[in-house]
Chain A
């Protein structure tokens, strides 16, 4: 009898294991995890590993032979150029995101009001700046802003307006890189806002109209509250991408004149790759992390708070 019981339990354990595995495989979360696994591995390989490696690099001395802890960061804090780059990165990212949001919002409204028949064409055309690889479109802008042969200046000269030093003067150069970033990024905002606009229930506008709300009040009290989350997420996403921008500044001004358009990524490249000081370059690029993390925490906290209120 005892023998029989033992034998039965021996048989039951693998069966239980099998059924447990089957149950796990039937769970949606397990399937989702397995499907996401290739992506997780890729992120691990191409994002997490390089990020950790750059942290390691940032703790080495200039010749990468000994551990110096946070000395590279302390060194940066004492550099005038570093603080200028911090300031410029903030000006670049915040200004560009604000303009992209405003232009995207306005254009989304225009497109939303275009009759459905022609709307697809407009949407397609307006997305063109966003879908062209930025390195290519920035090259075209470079020719338009060329120090000596600017096409814009040629047009301005026809109206008797003197040549503008688009990339030769610090303020104009900053304006130029922000302009190109806005041109490339505004369509992303437009398409996100357009999707959000389409999801606002028409009844809310009807109710507002019955209450006598004018155009501005409809925007302020209906559209904007309904779009708040998408505005916040789009702004956060764009802020991160704009902060980490490399190609536009690199191609258009290479950080000049006299470093006045450098942002974190371009300065890190300049120091690390061109200047051969990889640890310092890694330290500069890592400096973006806390700034962006703080922005992300605030914006996501706001979104989740509103989600809970809803």
Chain B
């Protein structure tokens, strides 16, 4: 009897290929055997983006003979969160739900593991970054698939003219379109000096210090670039550490150059700030630029999306992946998984990204260099560095690496921005740290 010897690498490749084939292959062989599938997707703010996903889903449904119902639920007024919470309580509702960043972790016990889907997609599309793993895995299982729709990096979007004129920074030279960044000098110190200069010139950086995600993401990225963790990966309280003190001190100094009403800002405020021409920099995905393209073209043609400034412990940018989860009470899990694979095929991903004007980001490494980001404009190449094509910054999320259930509370309660505002408004650092420690201690309960 002949024995075939299989190397470990060959075995891994063949297993992944077999899984991919099994998942991508039509899973239904008889008409109408596939049943029904209901989806709750995020209602995209970009006109036409929902149309692209509907087309892809209908295309799959026709091929697989599945009756599909799609509900696009807005995130305005947290309607999507209410729907998720209600369905989890009722253990009834859609089969697939689009979940923002932390929600797969929150609903982990109600989600169907999707290891088979993710292993196949990673084999096909390349690896996912650590933030996707941190948010999308629980108890050594994939609990959700990173969705292209809604995933975003909230890096800086700068005004080319204002930064050059008032801060002496040539953003396009630092982040040239089509080439790797030359951003060694783009550090937290440079950022601080630029913030001060632009503030003096009457074009303050539009950074919020409120309780919504844009503010929290920026504060979190700065904390991480100083190595500041409120709770470490093991779940220990680390509020009163030198790194946190340094990050808080820096954040307070730079916040003095933000608009005075920044503590009241929400996720729309920074967009308005840029579009109205009042600011030289905001931290946002290209939504503000897209609005400017429509409402203030003279502003849009001066916008350039680029990387985060590097701190003493590295260059960290906020990455907020959206996920697609399958409820474990879904009655058609096989069909749900098949659809998720279909939506993550390279051609489907490209279609979704193009429909969103480059806003949506796939999480898989091989899909971050699509043509759309290099070609979008004006100015041409403005989005080239948006998907982090040269991996020159670490993609992370505020409050990581704390255990996700604790980090979710730190993030939602905006502990880092509240610390900055408290300290900015004159509270001594020790008192601010004591307050934060008390709050975070409360999040450790199970």
Q: Which residues on A are within 8 Å of B, measured CB to CB?
A: 61-63, 65, 75, 78-81, 147-149, 163, 165-169, 173, 253-259, 269-270, 272-278
Q: How far is the CB of A145 from chain B (nearest CB, A)?
A: 9
**Whose C-beta in chain B lies nearest to the C-beta of A82?**
B442
Please give, as numbers and ranges, the residues of chain A lying within 8 Å of B263 by CB-CB distance.
168-169, 256-258
**Whose C-beta in chain B lies nearest to the C-beta of A261?**
B264
Please give, as numbers and ranges, the residues of chain B lying within 8 Å of A75 by CB-CB distance.
442, 445
Are B261 and A148 in contact, CB atoms less than 8 angstroms apart?
A: yes
Are A257 and B413 in contact, CB atoms less than 8 angstroms apart?
A: no
A256 with B85, Cβ < 8 A, contacts A75-B445, A168-B263 known: no
Task: Kindly identify which residue among A165, A259, A275 contacts B418, using a CB–CB cutoff of 8 Å.
Answer: A259
Task: Kindly identify which residue among A163, A254, A256, A274 contacts B412, using a CB–CB cutoff of 8 Å.
Answer: A274
Are A273 and B435 in contact, CB atoms less than 8 angstroms apart?
A: no
Q: How far is the CB of B172 from chain A (nearest CB, A)?
A: 28
A148 with B412, Cβ < 8 A, contacts A168-B263, A256-B264, A273-B85 known: no
Q: How many A-B residue pairs have CB under 8 A?
A: 92
Task: Kindly identify which residue among A165, A273, A275 contacts B413, using a CB–CB cutoff of 8 Å.
Answer: A275
Does chain A have a CB within 8 A of B78?
yes
> Can you show 16 pairs from A to B with CB atoms below 8 A apart?
A62-B446, A63-B446, A147-B259, A147-B262, A147-B264, A147-B265, A148-B276, A148-B278, A168-B260, A168-B262, A254-B211, A256-B263, A257-B210, A258-B263, A258-B418, A276-B408
Are B259 and A148 in contact, CB atoms less than 8 angstroms apart?
A: yes
Q: How far is the CB of B229 from chain A (nearest CB, A)?
A: 20
CA distance A62 to B406 in the complex (A): 11
Does chain A have a CB within 8 A of B304?
no
Interface of A is mostly: loop
Task: Kindly identify which residue among A255, A274, A278 contacts B78, using a CB–CB cutoff of 8 Å.
Answer: A274
A257 with B264, Cβ < 8 A, contacts A149-B272, A275-B412 known: yes
Please give, as numbers and ranges, the residues of chain A lying within 8 Å of B85 by CB-CB distance.
272-273, 276, 278
Task: Kindly identify which residue among B109, B212, B265, B273 contacts A63, using a CB–CB cutoff of 8 Å.
Answer: B109
Please give, as numbers and ranges, the residues of chain B lying within 8 Å of A259 by CB-CB distance.
211, 418
Q: How far is the CB of B221 from chain A (nearest CB, A)?
A: 20
Chain B 409-446 against A: per-residue CB contact (8 Å), 1 yes, 0 no? 10011000010011000000000000100110010011
Task: Kindly identify which residue among A78, A167, A258 contacts B261, using a CB–CB cutoff of 8 Å.
Answer: A167
A168 with B264, Cβ < 8 A, contacts A275-B413, A276-B408 known: yes
A273 with B409, Cβ < 8 A, contacts A75-B445, A257-B263 known: no
CA distance A167 to B208 in the complex (A): 13
**Whose C-beta in chain B lies nearest to the C-beta of A142?**
B266
| Chain B positions 52-93 with a Cβ under 8 Å from a chain A Cβ | 78, 81-82, 85, 89
**Whose C-beta in chain B lies nearest to the C-beta of A255?**
B211
- Give the B interface residue count (CB, 8 A): 40
Please give, as numbers and ranges, the residues of chain A lying within 8 Å of B405 by CB-CB distance.
62
**Whose C-beta in chain A lies nearest to the C-beta of B105?**
A276
Are A61 and B106 in contact, CB atoms less than 8 angstroms apart?
A: no
Are B261 and A79 in contact, CB atoms less than 8 angstroms apart?
A: no
Please give, as numbers and ranges, the residues of chain B lying within 8 Å of A253 by CB-CB distance.
264
| Chain B positions 149-197 with a Cβ under 8 Å from a chain A Cβ | none
**Whose C-beta in chain A lies nearest to the C-beta of B208?**
A147
Are A273 and B78 in contact, CB atoms less than 8 angstroms apart?
A: yes
Are A80 and B412 in contact, CB atoms less than 8 angstroms apart?
A: no
Please give, as numbers and ranges, the residues of chain B lying within 8 Å of A269 by CB-CB distance.
78
Does chain A have a CB within 8 A of B319?
no
Are B264 and A276 in contact, CB atoms less than 8 angstroms apart?
A: no
Please give, as numbers and ranges, the residues of chain B lying within 8 Å of A273 by CB-CB distance.
78, 81-82, 85
Chain B 244-286 against A: per-residue CB contact (8 Å), 1 yes, 0 no? 0000000000000001111111100100110010100000000
A148 with B273, Cβ < 8 A, contacts A168-B263, A257-B264 known: yes
Please give, as numbers and ranges, the residues of chain A lying within 8 Å of B102 by CB-CB distance.
276
CA distance A167 to B212 in the complex (A): 15
Q: How far is the CB of B276 from chain A (nearest CB, A)?
A: 8
Are A254 and B266 in contact, CB atoms less than 8 angstroms apart?
A: yes
Task: Kindly identify which residue among B81, B260, B269, B446 contacts A165, using a CB–CB cutoff of 8 Å.
Answer: B260
Q: How far is the CB of A38 from chain B (nearest CB, A)?
A: 25
Are A173 and B413 in contact, CB atoms less than 8 angstroms apart?
A: no
Are A80 and B264 in contact, CB atoms less than 8 angstroms apart?
A: no
Are B212 and A254 in contact, CB atoms less than 8 angstroms apart?
A: yes
Q: How far is the CB of B320 from chain A (nearest CB, A)?
A: 15
